Structure 1
Amino acid sequence: MRELNLDRLRTLVAIADLGSFAAAARALHLAPPTVSLHISELEQRVGAELLLRKRGQVRPSGVGETLVARARQLLADAEHALDEVQRQVQGLEGRVRLGASTGAIAYLLPQALQALGQGYPGIDVQVTVLTSEETLSKLVAGTLDVGLVALPQLSVEGLNVRAWRRDPVMAFLPAGWTAPRTVTPEWLAEQPLILNDPHTRLSRLTTEWFAAAGHNPRARIQLNYNDAVKSLVAAGYGATLLPHEASSAVPADPRIAMRPLRPKLWRPLGIAHRAGEAEPATQHVLDALWELKQV
């Protein structure tokens, strides 16, 4: 026996607690020869006598007391580990790694996390800001469990990508501007613009929206953080195009006016995860996200 066996350690602790081999055998539902064999194997492993037998009583030797103390800790750790794993199997605890864009993290993910926390406070969702391409790559590599990605996406072997939301893209303008009730590519192309980073799917959507009307405007600045973009709009630096996920038609910042587009533009999002049955904690996260479905 090269390693310390938990069953043998449990036998040693039972004998130390109950004071006899026979009582330990009854408590552990083992045959008396099995109890004797456990102790013999332990003593061979450590190379010392673990139990002293005098006048019908059994008590640990000095070496035995040291091993009994360590055995109690090891057995408690093993029980804790099994309990922790069991709670993960039941979906009560667990770690879920999620990748998403800044927009989804700022406005959509908090709603799902709030609902998840009410039902499953033991689930730890670790969030990383990524592009859709990065998210899919990390899902394939196994370093993410769930991703919120822009649609459409090419089929990726081993991944499921389902349509999740279809949010309208709106024009966000400084409130002091004189603007039409609906914003067209012609009007907006003449304004100073703050647009998304060209590597994002939203940038491609807005470029195609302008191009369909024959326009290719240049932005004053390109960013990938929607809150920073809105701060610049509020400061009067320019106008932007962003998805609107909130239920209210009025932006929270009174310095920003929001207008619908003509023609309309939509930002579709999907939920991506590895194919096959998800672990319980991951499934609970998927369920919480799916409650925000809007397609």
Structure 2
Amino acid sequence: MRQLNLDQLRTLIAIADLGTFSAAAKALHLAQPTVSLHISELESRLGAQLVVRGSRNVTPTPAGAALVERGRRLLRDTDEAIDAVKRQAEGRTGRVRLGASTGVVVDLLPQVLEALGGGYSGIDVEVSILGSYEAMSRLAAGTLDIGLVAMPQPPVRDLVVTPWREQPMMAFVPQHWKAPKRVTPAWLAKQPLIFNDATTHMYRLAMEWFASAGFAPRARIELNYDAAIRNLVAAGYGAALLPAEQAANGAPDERVQILPLVPRLTRWQAIAHRQHAELDGATQSVLKVLTTFRQL
């Protein structure tokens, strides 16, 4: 048997609701002969009489009433399916896999997700804490949709890396230490130090800053969680190099001095993703929101 025609089913339901072919034709913006054709083709397809034509009104037969009842659910499900596809295509719903470092997750991502919830509450962002190397690898493998990564990054085929944020690095020093107003590699290399994990871009950035002045200090401890590093600084365990943005978020900790570096040191971040033609609507919507946080 051939499949049901949804337009014909909609016509049958309109006739059942309105009582006449002419009223149904007017409501559906169809010519009355078209309405009659819909019903005759539907009856022929199903091999059953669906309506009884009275002197004034048209009423469904028992078979027609059964089809009307189920047809309402079918049309509702169809409308919901169409709406779901539209919302997906328009980027108003879906799941986006995003990878970022712990610093971004703690300090900036809550603001991004809050902004996203204001206009795209149907998007579920699945966040993974990843270093830049792993994020780029997972993007290339197709198991990640967006990566917030450190720059520079070696080019990877079919991946787009767009500069996103410029963050000056600062010296985070325990408050009770006697420190210069501007911190140099020479002074900081003599202090107990807390570094990011040696596998991270932040570690390499810090070591390059020291190396440019002829120093290669060792850390008392290496961590991959910036909030823990800040707490250790506040406890007097050592000094650290961290992005200035982390100083601006939340209430200032009176146990920590945040001092500028000489020479300056800057961390650059980027948004990485596959080619735009390969992105679904939800991923493009998240990228749109991330772009509003661009700071260069």
So what's the TM-score if we normalise by structure 1? 0.81
1:34 aligns with 2:33: no
C-alpha separation between the residues in 1 aligned to 2:238 and 2:189?
11
Conserved in 2, the CA contact under 8 Å of 1:14 and 1:24? yes
For residues 270-289 of structure 1, the aligned pairs below 5 Å read 270-277=270-277, 281-289=282-290
Q: Does 1:266 align with 2:266?
A: yes
Deviates more, 1:19-28 or 1:103-112: 19-28
**Separation in 1, partners of 2:95, 2:257:** 40
- 1:200–1:2 distance in 2 versus 1, CA, 3 Å: farther
In structure 1, C-alpha distance between the alignment counterparts of 2:198 and 2:97, rounded to whole Å: 26
Question: 1:39/1:223 Cα in 2 relative to 1: closer, same or farther (>3 Å)?
Answer: farther
Distance of aligned partners of 1:102 and 1:153 in 2 relative to their CA distance in 1, 3 Å threshold: same
**Number of residue pairs the alignment of both structures matches:** 288
CA distance in structure 2 between the aligned counterparts of 1:50 and 1:135, rounded to whole angstroms: 62
In the other structure, the counterpart of 2:228 is 228
SS at match of 1:173: strand
SS of the residue corresponding to residue 162 of structure 1 reads strand
Identity %: 51
Please state whether the residue corresponding to 2:217 is helix, strand or coil: coil
Rate the CA distance shift 1:172–1:7 in 2: closer, same or farther, 3 A: same
* In structure 2, distance between residues paired with 1:102 and 1:231: 14
Preserved CA contact (<8 Å) 1:173 1:240:
yes
Counterpart residue number, 2:78: 78
Distance in structure 2 (CA, Å) of the matches to 1:213 and 1:83: 61
How far off is 1:186 after superposition?
A: 2.9
CA distance in 1, matches of 2:112, 2:236: 33
Instruction: Supply the RMSD in Å over aligned alpha carbons.
Output: 3.1
Query: What aligned pairs does 1:242-261 form with structure 2 within 5 A after superposition?
Result: 242-245=242-245, 248=248, 252-261=252-261
Structure 2, unpaired ranges of 5+:
none
Equivalent residue letter for 2:293: L
Distance 2:39 2:51 in 1: 15
Shift of 1:183: 2.2
> Are the equivalent residues in 2 in contact too, given 1:97–1:145 (CA < 8 A)?
yes
Alpha-carbon distance change, 131 to 70 in structure 1, aligned in 2, over 3 angstroms? farther
TM-score relative to the length of structure 2: 0.81
* Alignment partner of 1:124 is 2:123: yes
> Residues 184 and 261 of structure 1 are in contact (CA less than 8 Å); yes or no, is this contact kept in structure 2?
yes
